[in-house]
């Protein structure tokens, strides 16, 4: 069979399997379609107009792959007990693999990794076989950053998102906390007479399954009978403070997601239900929502980017860059040394954490109750902690200059400090923008003319969004500087004042 035939066959087999599960429901006007031509895998479209507040499909919790439904949890229940119980089991069994469950990764994640390893080894006999067949199972089927080559990661240029991939820490976690469990209980994890995988192959499988969970799994919240007044202000983000487990949810994970969406998944006692938020027109894709994530984070977690998520893009400004700009403000070496001393004091201040850098982002609101972003996202201010640090350093170094330029009242002191702060912020944004190897115009053209595709297109979209934000922040600084200078008749470095024009 051709690849296209296989793709359609697996989709149809999954659809048949899903509709045969007790308690499932699927709206007649939905169709699974092939979106691989736009790097989106499978998706679901409406074949006829669907009204708002219509149940699109229902997934009983018995159909979800989780600790509650897994055969592995029945065969090795000690692996899935609460942490207090796990501790007592460790003491009784001496199970070193359970001796130090990672604090940085929830137990529900570890549980689901073990469950999916078990199901993959028992693939042919798994009750979820038609569902497992449509899920990615090889590195080439993922576009998450974990599987990008170094050259591909290099296309992200000055973006800091590659530093968040965490492959080394994932390797350590899998080697210390997953592989030993599989090897100790090999007679359970592997079918009889099955070939046991090497540690290297097990590690590769762990990375595949970890990426699968990150891209496809759902945090299974308890029922939603809480007081509506206690709901998250956003309305679309699940409350992570509530007890929950991770699970693979057939059909729900078939939906692609975007910053504007038209469907929402509700968590009930016995089932999960996807409901339309507004009318979905015939031919329109049914879309879910993953949250207000920047494109870099979308790419890291889910392996895609979206132009509509540009509103949520962020850029990290390092402390080293801020330090360098503040030092370069002073041409006199004695003053530069004074600045270095002040910066060292900032670093030593236990009440100020500058080593992690500063996050530049836009002021934006989330989508409305119909899943539409009806407000403008714009840059309106720098992080308070960044402004405070720059101001505190400049106030010391400008003290003598303030006295010489004083206009006769306290506003003059504050004015000089404010202008220098804005100038420093503008310079920091411009320098950060210069870290990227290609221009904003070059990248925009690559997206518009279609010369970039696949992973390169995703990388360009990430760096375009970050550069656009940096430019907005630099322009905002310039506008504030000119506005303030014009108001007080003071010359800025880019616009002569009225007083000088009269001379």
Task: Kindly report, residue by residue over 274-291, the tens digit of the pLDDT.
Answer: 999 999 999 999 999 999
Residue ranges and CATH numbers for the domains of the chain are 1-46 (no CATH), 71-218 (no CATH), 308-502 (3.90.1420.10)
Model confidence at 145: pLDDT above 90: yes
Looking at every residue in the chain, the average pLDDT score rounds to 86
Instruction: Write the secondary structure of 466-493 as one string of H (helix), E (strand) and C (coil).
Output: HHHHHHHHHHHHHHHHHHHHHHHCCCCC
Model confidence at 32: pLDDT above 50: yes
pLDDT-derived band at 75 (thresholds 50, 70, 90) equals: very high
- Is the model more confident about 104 or about 484? 484
**Which pLDDT tens digit goes with each residue over 378-433?**
999 999 999 999 999 999 887 755 554 554 444 456 778 899 999 999 999 999 99
Model confidence at 2: pLDDT above 60: no
Map tokens 């040394």 to a residue: 337
Model confidence at 490: pLDDT above 80: no
- Angle subtended at Cα 322 by Cα 426 and Cα 336, rounded to the nearest 5 degrees: 105
Q: Rounded mean pLDDT of 42-62? A: 98
Distance between CA atoms of residues 415 and 224, nearest Å: 53
- Is residue 426 within 8 Å of residue 481, measured between CB atoms? yes
Distances (CA, A) of 391 to 208, 214, 323, 494: 47, 41, 13, 21
Q: What share of the chain is helix, strand, coil (3-state, %, to 5)?
A: 50, 10, 35
Distance between CA atoms of residues 479 and 432, nearest Å: 19
- Please tell me the predicted confidence (pLDDT) of residue 94: 35
Tally of CB atoms within 10 A around 16: 10
- Please tell me the predicted confidence (pLDDT) of residue 321: 98
pLDDT-derived band at 106 (thresholds 50, 70, 90) equals: confident
pLDDT-derived band at 37 (thresholds 50, 70, 90) equals: confident
Q: What is the pTM of this model?
A: 0.86
Going by C-alpha positions, the residue among 264, 279, 261, 290 that lies closest to residue 371 is 261
- Please tell me the predicted confidence (pLDDT) of residue 52: 98
- Angle subtended at Cα 42 by Cα 40 and Cα 47, rounded to the nearest 5 degrees: 115
- Please tell me the predicted confidence (pLDDT) of residue 450: 83
Model confidence at 358: pLDDT above 60: yes
């Amino acid at each position: 069979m051709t690849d296209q035939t296989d793709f359609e066959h697996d989709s149809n087999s999954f659809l048949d399997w899903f509709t045969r599960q007790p308690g499932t429901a699927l709206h007649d006007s939905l169709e699974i379609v092939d979106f691989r031509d736009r790097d989106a895998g499978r998706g679901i479209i409406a074949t006829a107009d669907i009204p708002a507040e219509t149940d699109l499909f229902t997934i009983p919790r018995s159909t979800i792959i989780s600790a509650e439904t897994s055969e592995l949890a029945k065969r090795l229940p000690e692996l899935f007990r609460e942490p207090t119980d796990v501790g007592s089991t460790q003491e009784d069994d001496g199970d070193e693999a359970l001796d130090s469950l990672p604090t940085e990764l929830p137990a529900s994640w570890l549980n689901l990794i073990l469950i999916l390893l078990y199901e993959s080894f028992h693939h042919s006999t798994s009750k979820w076989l038609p569902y497992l067949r449509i899920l990615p199972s090889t590195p080439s089927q993922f576009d998450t950053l974990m599987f990008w080559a170094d050259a591909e990661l290099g296309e992200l240029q000055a973006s800091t998102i590659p530093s968040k991939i965490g492959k080394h820490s994932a390797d350590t976690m899998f080697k210390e906390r997953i592989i030993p469990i599989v090897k100790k209980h090999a007679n359970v994890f592997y079918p009889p007479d099955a070939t046991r995988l090497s540690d290297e192959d097990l590690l590769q499988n762990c990375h595949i399954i970890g990426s699968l969970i990150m891209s496809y799994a759902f945090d299974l919240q308890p029922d939603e009978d809480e007081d509506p007044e206690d709901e998250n202000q956003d309305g679309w983000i699940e409350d992570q403070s509530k007890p929950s487990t991770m699970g693979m949810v057939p059909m729900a994970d078939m939906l692609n997601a975007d910053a504007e969406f038209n469907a929402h998944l509700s968590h009930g006692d016995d089932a999960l239900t996807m409901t339309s938020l507004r009318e979905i027109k015939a031919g329109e894709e049914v879309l879910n929502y993953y949250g207000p994530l920047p494109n870099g984070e979308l790419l890291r977690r889910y392996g895609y980017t979206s132009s509509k998520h540009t509103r949520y893009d962020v850029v990290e400004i390092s402390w080293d860059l801020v330090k360098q700009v503040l030092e370069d403000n002073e041409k006199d070496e004695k003053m530069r040394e004074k600045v270095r001393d002040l910066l060292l004091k900032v670093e030593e201040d236990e009440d100020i954490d500058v080593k992690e850098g500063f996050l530049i982002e836009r002021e934006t609101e989330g989508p409305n109750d119909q899943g539409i972003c009806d407000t403008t996202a714009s840059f309106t201010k720098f992080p308070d902690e960044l402004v405070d640090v720059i101001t505190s350093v400049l106030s010391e170094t400008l003290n003598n200059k303030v006295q010489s330029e004083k206009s006769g009242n306290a506003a003059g002191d504050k004015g000089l400090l404010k202008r220098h702060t804005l100038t420093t912020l503008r310079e920091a944004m411009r320098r950060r923008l210069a870290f990227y190897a290609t221009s904003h115009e070059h990248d925009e053209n690559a997206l518009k003319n279609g010369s970039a595709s696949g992973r390169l297109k995703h990388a360009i979209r990430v760096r375009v969004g970050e550069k656009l934000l940096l430019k907005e922040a630099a322009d905002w600084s310039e506008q504030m500087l000119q506005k303030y200078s014009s108001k007080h008749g003071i010359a800025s470095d880019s616009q002569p004042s009225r007083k000088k024009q009269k001379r």
